[in-house]
A and B are shown apart, each in its own frame.
Chain A
Amino acid sequence: LHPFIQQSVTSTCTGRIEPEEQSGHSEQRASPARLPFGKKQLPPIPKNAAPITKPASTGTLAPSANGTHASYGPFYLEYSLLAEFTLVIKQKLPGIYVQPSYKSALMWFGVIFIRHGLYQDGVFKFTVYIPDNYPDGECPKLVFDIPVFHPLVDPVSGELDVRRAFTKWRRNHNHIWQVLMYARTIFYKINTTEPLNPEAAVLYEKDVQLFKSKVVDSVKLCNSHLFDQPKMDDPYAISFSPWNPAVHEEAKERMFTYKRRPDDHHKGTQVSGLSWVKPGSMQPFSKDDSPPQS
């Protein structure tokens, strides 16, 4: 339904040596062919999927109580998530890449590259879980595949303490890209209040040198597991593999040359609009090249 998702992810990966995206190219072969319609997996229907709408200003009609609109709940949810995803693309967050999973639009795979600071050279894979009553539920969760040594990351589950930044998730104000942005920020500005990992917090306060060496160890650990199989068995999971020119050279080339053209997805609908309006005039046929007529 929305091929641009993959393409967008691909096209944003223009950093240095970035992950080989399993999902980008090889996935097209690997992933089972999807039917155009009907096979898209969506999360369950929220029990109260009826979007909360502002009271109709015109007072014409209240939404009918027959529940018709509830059957479209999955569509609303999917499009809300698509909208979130386009927002992420638009933000062009430095060093962050995400991709919704094949199985559920509510689960996004991601990876973050830390380019300087204490966590420099860290490559941390993570998964974002979005509640199924989005956007009216809690804030999304972000869980690192390997628990990074960090005051705000749970040393066991790897979950980032997102809630401290989004005490209440507000529709229209909070967006998933902000969560991703927040995940990046914690590696550059360390906060130790109410830590999920007290050890890390204490060390940071009392013995920065030891903290630093622990961080270096943690980064090494994470990077040593980089080529592991993805935790989740999902065609769109992000996986890394060592550089193999036979596989990657071509992909890299395409990545760097690829420009998304607007008409890529729909060939055959060759249309071009018409305009003889001189900019700023708001008058029809005001352009200079309009032929003189009576």
Chain B
Amino acid sequence: MASMVANGNPDGPSLVLKGVDPETCMIVFKNHWSQVVKILEKHDPLRGTSTLPSLSVLNLSGGPRFGPVPGDEASAVQNYVEHMLFLLMEEESGQAGAMGPILEFVVMENVMERLFVWSLRREFTDDMKLEQLKMYEMLAGQARQPLLHHKPILRPLIMLLSSCSGTAAPQVEAELVLLLNQLCCVLAKDPSILELFFHTSEDQGATNFLIFSLLIPFIHREGTVGQQARDALLLIMSLSAENERVAKHIAENTYFCPVLATGLSGLYSSLPTKLDFPSADWHCLHKEDWLRVPSLVQFLNSLEFCNAVIQVAHPDIRDQLVSYIYKGFLVPVLAPALHKLTLEEVMTTTAYLDLFLRTVSEPTLLQTFLSFILLHRHENVHILDTLVSRINTPFQLGTVSLALFRTLIGLYCEDVMLQLILRYLIPCNHMMLSQRRVVGERDCYSVSAAKILALTPSCCSPDHSPPPLRQLDSILFSKGAETPNNTSATEERESFVEDDDGSGNSCTIGSEIYLDVSYLHYLYDARLSISSCIKACQVWSAPYDGEDPPPEKYQPGVLEEPGLKSWQTQMAFKRVPHPLAPRPCPPPRTEPPSITQQELEWDDSYDACPVQTGQAPVEPKRPQPPPAEPPKHIQEMRKTAIMFVQGSYIEENEFQDDVMVYDLVAKKDTRDIESVRLKSSGSEPGSAEVPLKNGLSLTLPTSVMADKNTSDTKAKGQTDCNSHLQNTTAAEPGDELLAQYEELIRTLDTKAGGKQFRPDGEFKKPVTPAEEDEDEEEEEMDFTSFSAETPEPEKLQSPFGPKFGSGSVGRKTSAPFTGPFVSVLLSRLENMQSNTLQVNLLLTGILAQLAAYPQPLLRSFLLNTNLVFQPTVRSLYQVLATVKNQIEEQSATRTDFPELITAAQHWLLARETSLTAADDSRSSAHGEAARMRKSSPPPKPKAISLERTEVFATVLFTEFLKELAAIAQEHSILSYIPMEE
């Protein structure tokens, strides 16, 4: 039936119909119909009754059949119907939009419905469904007058559609989706039909808005069918933005959002858990990578679809979808995937997350992903902290993590930057108090740039050895009054003398100097990236200039908890498996009744460490309780682990479990602290074990432990410890010891913030896990005695004045800390010489990205070399100076260093050139520097092996200095150009 129609061959009939007058057509149509009716009635079980059977009583799956219809009769009907449909399709609408006569006849005689019933009466095979679907598809798509407004046409269509639901044959599905897509196009053009679809569906009782429900199963389908279904759904989504009813229906009566979101989970589960990483350099999934993985393509299609839905749909649908993605995909699927056991799996998940972030463009969806990263806690640790900690992982995971952060920072998102860096800078504790006014100061004379460039290693100085290739094109700063036409003027010296005014004012003297031309490119790039960044940051809530937000208002700790909401979430996570199982604690009797439930709960999980809210007046301001697990903790542990690991070789695949990292950390810490202890004071009689969160023990110098039996404050203890160590450092100043010292301070601080340290300063006795149970009673005692002797507020004042705890409202006399992200970046940068080229490219790229941000707090921290920081704070400049020293040592001891440098420069330039050539399509970068950072498998090294990381690092370091200096210089101009509004 309708096969010819369906074959889409309208040429013949329509040619015939051209010029035929409508009356003739009508007569032909009626003729055909009467022939069809004869056959139909012959087989009608209810023959004789003039009323049609109600369709709703028909059993669609297996209608009553009264004997087989003879083949000749069936084909006769098919032929007639074909012709009839052509006539109907070709008919123009009547005057003023009235129905044409054929259509009117079709409606009056209920032609379509009767035909549908006829086909049901026969064997309703897939072939027949296919034919009927094609028939309607033609009608919907090609009719010259609107047909779907008429119930006698719409009703059988809905019947047909519902009879096709749940069908399995691929061709039927394809045709069904095609028809649905066609119908959605009609709907989009003429939303008035929407109401009819709803009403007609209601007649059927079960499903409202059938078109929509039928499309849902195809959302995640691959290939054309899926694409057509998604396109059709998008049409409905944009309808929903204007039609409250559609929106409400979809949000309340359909499973659209859950299906979409959980579908992501399903598709995600079919992604490879480990990817074959093409090379050790590999760090992120480029298009050519993911195109090779069909399941990834499919996932990205669905993710892009979610993105599109969120873009066009009604806010109700959008919010629902976003919430399902968060609860149905990110939290239950992606979070555990990010915490898989093997490095490869974690690495793959990280690369996926990076790819997803780069795929998503709609701010609302991006926000969902970002709030997952920034605020969600998995096993009580923020995802962000885990990710930050992985930057310091040796091997490829660190590289992949760096790539993820490059993406995050490139979003120009205030929330991300706030959590990563700015919240640590807002209190201004990282600098000397007197330096706060310097934050917004302008570097008029490029002093910082000069200082940065002065770190250029002597082996790379352009004065000593001109860089190869293109860089030999040096600029000539000539003072000549040369005309630009005179291209050879570079070699000329012309004195430009003002002879007119006779005042002898000559500002020009012939002189020239050769300069590295690449510096101009760096300036150009810096200009572009800073101005983009300035523009992007206009939507931010605050300028971050050291005054707004006011440092006093946001001292450390205030910003550590992202609100009560997640505080509660965190509560829910409290009892997740934990190496050190929280044990029940008898309610502290000394607690005043005013204590809140939350705080009690908090106490519970933390080893009977009481919160002394009763002494609240002691504190000028009661901040939120400290975070359950300080973000720095894990990160610091892993960081130290890496340092340890670098000493002793460990097979990569052995390095699979986080537990191992912790173990290594613990060992390392023990070793470190002991060495510190030995160096500092042999008189200290012993050491005590402090439980770490992972159940391992950390040996602490007893100088700290000694405090526990006094009624002194923890704050005091901390300070003592600091001073103690400081003395040590002063006595034996060495880089390594200094590093250890800083390490230890941070570790102590970290633990203090998380476990034992209470704001009002009592100190918990540390116990080893084994002792715990026995000591419970005793601890309780300890607690009461301590709380009875809570110190006076003035005791909290650190003897070091502003150095420790300046302005920290007595809550936390912590060493100033610029955040785990910055410290992990800097510590990796410090190891530049042993990093692979790719790691260094990413590191310097991220730091350059950060340096381009216009916020004075960040800018001054990274680029202002005159800013005086707190002694415990490491600045980028300091780290660069350390690297320079390493390089100088290196180059002094090796005679072949200059040659190697030249070889590396050639190699890098060759790589850059090849990338530039191959990169034009996806290049968003503008200059040399950006292109140098492009990543893809580099050409085979010629004269130099990539193993010579120190050589490549040296070249890169020199370039990085230029890049930073250029950024600093451009900041001094761009950030001060008055904007006209």
Which A residues are closer than 8 A to B by beta carbons?
1-2, 4, 8, 11, 32-45, 50-51, 53-54, 56-58, 60-61, 63-64, 66-69, 71-76, 79-80, 82-84, 86-87, 89-90, 103-104, 106-107, 127, 129-132, 135, 141, 143, 145, 156-159, 171-172, 231-232, 259-260, 262-263, 265-266, 269, 271-286, 290-294
Contacts and interface: CB of A to CB of B under 8 A. Distances in A.
Contacts of B33: none
B484 A39 contact: yes
B451 interface: yes
Interface string B483-524: 111000000000010101111010111111111110111011
A279 to B, nearest CB: 4
A56 B868 CA distance: 9
B414 A277 contact: yes
Contacts of B463: 66-68, 71
Given A64-B454, A104-B479, A266-B532, A293 B368 contact: yes
Nearest to B507: A106
Given A89-B977, A262-B535, A293-B371, 14 more contacts: A43-B479, A51-B445, A51-B446, A71-B514, A75-B969, A82-B973, A83-B442, A158-B501, A172-B445, A260-B979, A271-B535, A278-B541, A291-B367, A294-B331
Contacts of B482: 41
A32 B484 CA distance: 7
A69 B496 CA distance: 27
A71 B515 contact: yes
Contact of B513 (A45, A86, A89): A45
A279 B475 contact: no
27 contacts: A32-B485, A35-B484, A37-B520, A44-B511, A51-B446, A54-B447, A60-B881, A67-B463, A68-B462, A71-B514, A72-B519, A90-B976, A172-B444, A260-B980, A269-B532, A271-B533, A272-B412, A273-B411, A274-B414, A274-B539, A275-B540, A277-B540, A278-B541, A279-B542, A284-B371, A291-B364, A294-B331
Contacts, number: 314
B369 to A, nearest CB: 11
Interface stretch (B320-328, B654-662, B809-817, B907-915): B320-328
Interface stretch (B154-162, B418-426, B588-596): B418-426
Interface in B283-297: none
A135 B524 CA distance: 24
Contacts of B790: none
Contacts of B960: none
Contact of B976 (A66, A72, A87, A277): A87
A107 B319 CA distance: 60
A282 B426 contact: yes
Nearest to A2: B973
A107 B502 CA distance: 16
B475 A275 contact: no
B869 to A, nearest CB: 7
Contacts of B480: 41
Contacts of B171: none
Contacts of A58: 868-869, 875, 877-878
Interface string B461-485: 1111000000001011111111111
Contact of A259 (B476, B868, B980): B980
B877 A262 contact: no
B875 A43 contact: no
- Which residue among A86, A104, A156, A281 has the maximum number of chain B CB atoms within 10 Å of its CB? A86
Contacts of B542: 277, 279-280, 282
Nearest to B978: A90
A16 to B, nearest CB: 20
Contact of A275 (B450, B496, B539): B539
A14 B706 CA distance: 74
A56 B877 CA distance: 11
A159 B447 CA distance: 32
Nearest to A260: B980
Contact of A132 (B507, B517, B882): B507
B944 interface: no
B569 A273 contact: no
B528 A266 contact: yes
A53 B445 CA distance: 10
A290 to B, nearest CB: 7
Contacts of B979: 260, 262
B484 A284 contact: no
- Which residue among A135, A265, A272, A276 has the maximum number of chain B CB atoms within 10 Å of its CB? A276
Given A231-B500, A262-B535, A284-B371, A69 B450 contact: yes
A277 B450 contact: no
Interface string B926-945: 00000000000000000000
B447 A53 contact: yes
B342 interface: no
B833 interface: no
A292 B323 contact: yes
Contact of B509 (A44, A262, A263): A44
A75 to B, nearest CB: 7
Nearest to A73: B513
B538 interface: yes
A72 B503 contact: no
Contact of B453 (A69, A271, A280): A69
A72 B450 contact: yes
A129 B538 CA distance: 38
